[in-house]
Amino acid sequence: MIRLDNLTKVFKTQDGPVTAADRISMEVPAGEICILLGPSGCGKTTTLKMINRIIPPTSGSVFINGEDTAQLDTQTLRHNIGYVIQQIGLFPNMTIEENIAVVPRLMGWDKKKYRDRARELMDMIAMDPDAFLKRYPHELSGGQQQRIGVARALAADPPVMLMDEPFGSIDPINRAVIQDEFLKMQQELKKTIIFVSHDIDEAIKMGDRIAIFRAGQLEQYSEPDELLAAPKDEFVESFLGEDRALKRLNLVKVRDVVSDSIGTVQPSDTLATAQQRLEEYGYQSAIIMTNEQFQPVGMVLASVTKSTRGYCRDHYLPLPALVGLDDDLRKVASLMFAHGITWLPCVDDKGRVCGQITQRAITQHLGARYAMQTAGKSGEVA
């Protein structure tokens, strides 16, 4: 757990004092990733760097796991905080192994222990220890270097990590891969992480919480869904962008919106049965046809059931698309637009039909939050 209490930094410049961070107070629960987000010069990096005293705070305090860090000497404090920077900063004179072992060696681990640890970390970041440990940073690609940067920060297993735009200098394709890898690692490691970013999409993807900064002040501090649904003021709203409702689609899983009642037919049913079932469920356009294992095979159009006689197995069309329970709504919306449809069948991890997702359900789910917000606002006025 990290708690900042009235953390303030005033820089003395030629034009008089400039407040880079103004009484920042916030709390990051253990095991969560908190993203500090904002335009450049908003104080997010200053705030981050005051935590490990790269920038000494003017006033205020930092508590890590309840302990006031002012009691610790700077070296000890930093040994217990993993630090990753945008420029990566691997030491060019050291091999990858020596780079990873920097903090363990400073802490006086014996050789066997830190070498084993280096191998373990290489496995964790999915790089072959035998191929890489003896190489030098300049022999690695940017993406590989930043993976090592993360491994180096994790070497002594610090409870807390500070990351200053760690994936900012990596090309977009590799960045997405590294972000995914990092999130997977974090699920097991459960570090408490403060992460600076200026990329709203990265923030939504990585953050359990997002802190929006503006001109040295903490503007809003909430969970991503809350932030997108209920931005506190116009600044936050404009920073999030006009497509913030679409961004929320990333955060919602099919699981949260799916309706589990779904009418289906089997190949052996007659078209008359299909027509009956369509009416029963109130479907306008088509009904799903499944096999005996309840796996989707195709769909029977409502128009066909009215105009033709026979069995479903002879009169079905292939399904345009399927979604899984863990897909996000962004994918669902994209499929709906691509195929010009308003509903999609949804399958579980064994490939069985388990429900359907409709455009209306999505709109309602997103809208529910706005309705609450509007109600809240009118409540305040009253």
Partner 1 sequence: MPQPAVHRTVLVIAFILVFLAGVWLSASGFISEFLSYREDINYLVVQHMHLTAVSGGLAILFAIPLGVLLSRPQMGKVAESAMQVLNIGTTIPTLAVLALSMSLLGIGTTPALFALFVATLLPITRNTYAGLKGVSPALMEAAAGLGMSSTQRLLRIELPSAMYVIFAGIRTALTINVGTVPLAFLIGAGGLGELIFTGIDLYSPVMMLAGAIPTAILAILVDAFIATMAFWLVPRGVNPARR
Burial of residue 69 (number of CB atoms within 10 Å: 0-12, 13-18, 19+) = buried
Among 4, 8, 42, 78, contact with partner 1 (rule: CB under 8 A): 78
Residue 161 as a binder of partner 1 (CB under 8 A): the answer is: no
Strand, helix or coil at 104?
helix
Cβ closer to partner 1: 63 or 136? Answer: 136
Backbone φ, ψ for residue 2 (5° rounding):
-120, 130
Give the closest residue to 131 by CA, choosing from 146, 114, 148.
148
Q: Which is nearer to partner 1, 83 or 213 (CB)?
A: 83
Strand order from edge to edge, sheet including 264-265: 264-265, 286-290, 296-301
Q: Applying CB under 8 A, does 159 fall inside the site for partner 1? A: no
- Nearer to partner 1 by C-beta: 191 or 244? 191
Least Å distance between CB 335 and partner 1?
43
Residue found by looking up tokens 């930094």 in the block: 9
Q: How many other β-carbons are positioned within 10 Å of the β-carbon of residue 184?
A: 12
Phi, psi (rounded to 5 degrees) for 143:
-65, -40
Binding status of residue 85 toward partner 1 by CB under 8 A: yes
Give min distance, CB of 194 to partner 1, in A: 13
Site pattern 301..340 for partner 1 (x: CB under 8 A): ----------------------------------------
Using the contact rule CB under 8 A, the part of the chain among 5-13, 81-89, 180-188, 352-360 near partner 1 is 81-89
CA atoms within 13 A on the CB side of 298: 11
Nearest to 220 by CA among 237, 242, 199: 237
Q: Are 57 and 50 in contact (CB under 8 A)?
A: yes
Backbone angles phi, psi at 130, to 5 degrees: -65, -30
**Parallel, antiparallel, or unpaired: how do β-strands 209-214 and 33-37 relate?**
parallel
Residue 28-67 contact track with partner 1, rule CB under 8 A, x = bound: ------------------------x-x-------------
Task: Provide, rounded to whole angstroms, the least separation between the CB of residue 159 and partner 1.
Answer: 15
Annotate each residue in 86-105 with x if it binds partner 1 (CB under 8 A) or - if it does not, as one string: -xxxxxxxxx------xx--
Contacts with 124 (C-beta within 8 Å, 6 or more apart), sequence order: 151, 154, 185
Antiparallel, parallel or unpaired: β 209-214 and 217-222: antiparallel
What's the closest the beta carbon of residue 71 comes to partner 1, in angstroms? 16
User: What is the nearest approach in angstroms of partner 1 to the Cβ of residue 120?
Assistant: 18
Q: Which stretch binds partner 1 (CB under 8 A): 23-31, 69-77, 194-202, 229-237?
A: 69-77
Q: How far is the CB of 75 from partner 1 (least distance, A)?
A: 5
Question: Binders of partner 1 among 128-157, rule CB under 8 A?
Answer: 136-138, 152-153
Query: Shortest distance, CB of residue 91 to partner 1, whole angstroms?
Result: 6
Indicate the residue among 103 and 218 with the shorter CB distance to partner 1: 103
Residues 196 and 45: beta-carbon distance below 8 Å = yes
Query: What is the widest separation between alpha-carbon atoms in the chain?
Result: 87
Closest CB 137 distance from partner 1, rounded Å: 6
Q: 35 and 213 in contact (C-beta within 8 Å)?
A: no
Among 59, 75, 238, 259, contact with partner 1 (rule: CB under 8 A):
75
CA dist., res. 54 & res. 64, Å (int): 16
Chain positions contacting partner 1, by CB under 8 A = 52, 54, 74-79, 81, 83, 85, 87-95, 102-103, 106, 136-138, 152-153, 162
